[in-house]
Homo-oligomer: A and B are copies of this chain.
Amino acid sequence: MALDDAKQTLLPELKDHSHVNEKNDLQRRRPWRSSSSPELDTHRPDQNAVQTPSPLVPLAAKSKFSFRQVFMLLAAHLGGGTLCFFLIRNQIKGTKTNGFLDAIYFCVVTMTTVGYGDLVPDSMLAKLLACIDVFTGMALVGLILSKAADYIVEKQEIILARAIHLGEKVGPAELLKEVETHKIKYKFLMTATILMILIFMGILFLYLVENLEFMDAFYCVCSTITTLGYGDQSFSTSVGRTFAVFWILGSTICLAQFFLYLAELSTERRQRSLAKWVLTRRLSPSDLEAADLDHDKVVSAAEFIVYELKEMGKISEHDISVIMERFEKLDYDQSGTLTATDLKILCSGLPAAT
């Protein structure tokens, strides 16, 4: 087919021009070289450059940076919180163990909004600090959910895919494609697996170390991971609170992430069913007419792509109109198409208004 050929012949050219390391078959199949990462593009002519310096770093690097940033923020928050509560440890009442341990335990129980109430602030200052801790903690947990947790799960999902397809003859490329296509499903399954392990660990610990009955241990785990924290059952020993610091942080975030992926999964399913409807519906002459952007009575591949994307709700009228504005500005000879001529006029400076 004509367009298939066009796509095929495009590939060798791309390989010659692109300096991006291509990791796998999937990425090698991309019809267009991405120039979203200015650093990677060594072919952009710099003479007569009027371009404003871009503040953007490559997206992948940015996302990695955020992960480290979030981790540092969490460490800073825990460190600062623990120090504050340690200094005012006499203004906190309740079941106490070790001064330092109680401070970090109180900080975690507060920032995750579990709030058992086995330790409660007993002065204006302590109450104010607890309020600050819970608000900043909530924002931080939100940040972890949106940046770090997703990043960690993404790193693990290929392992899960490998485990699921164990014994089957599936190559690494197919496995990667499977994970790419059902990204959210694998993330959801990965999170569910981790959550199950954390719940099991919690019950076992409360049963063995805190000497709770099995049902009470289960109830305490549910009450904690959901951040309910009535406080009738909580961690009262030194060993228990040491475990609790890590376990509460991990399990509350994991459950929240579980619900987030569940929501994403349902959104994705809805979007897929809409996309499927768009892609299988019968095309009418009025569809063709509506898709024909340049009114030449035929619908090109690109026109069809734009029309279908819009029907799927993936792009909006506004997205299209801002790009159209730019197109019209770039199209100096007003031919309705962008050519090398337009770029030459652009490079030689702005022409007189026509």
Interface flag for A124 (CB, 8 Å):
yes
Interface flag for A88 (CB, 8 Å):
no
Listed A/B pairs (6) with beta-carbon separation below 8 Å = A1-B328, A3-B324, A279-B326, A298-B335, A299-B339, A309-B323
CB distance A327 to B230 under 8 Å?
A: no
- Stretch in A133-141, A151-159, A166-174, A184-192 touching the partner: A133-141
Return chain B residues, CB-CB under 8 Å to A331: 1-3
CB distance B131 to A284 under 8 Å?
A: no
Min CB gap A315→B, angstroms: 6
CB distance B310 to A327 under 8 Å?
A: no
CB distance A31 to B282 under 8 Å?
A: no
User: What is the count of identical protomers in the complex?
Assistant: 2
In the assembly, what is the distance between CA of A64 and CA of B230, in Å?
A: 36
With A1-B331, A134-B228, A231-B231 given, is the CB distance from A263 to B45 under 8 Å? no
CB distance B228 to A113 under 8 Å?
A: yes
CB distance B117 to A231 under 8 Å?
A: yes
Interface flag for A50 (CB, 8 Å):
yes
3 closest Cβ pairs, A-B complex? A302-B302, A115-B228, A298-B337
In the assembly, what is the distance between CA of A336 and CA of B301, in Å?
A: 7
Return chain B residues, CB-CB under 8 Å to A295: 6, 9-10
Min CB gap A352→B, angstroms: 16
Return chain B residues, CB-CB under 8 Å to A335: 2, 298
Interface flag for A259 (CB, 8 Å):
yes
Please give me the residue from chain B that is nearest to A219 by CB atom.
B127
Return chain B residues, CB-CB under 8 Å to A30: 317
With A295-B10, A323-B308 given, is the CB distance from A56 to B314 under 8 Å? no
CB distance A323 to B279 under 8 Å?
A: yes
Interface flag for A24 (CB, 8 Å):
no
CB distance B34 to A310 under 8 Å?
A: yes
Return chain B residues, CB-CB under 8 Å to A263: 142, 146
CB distance B326 to A315 under 8 Å?
A: no
User: Given A2-B336, A3-B294, 12 other A-B contacts at CB below 8 A?
Assistant: A1-B328, A3-B331, A6-B293, A34-B311, A35-B286, A51-B280, A117-B229, A117-B232, A130-B223, A279-B322, A299-B337, A302-B302
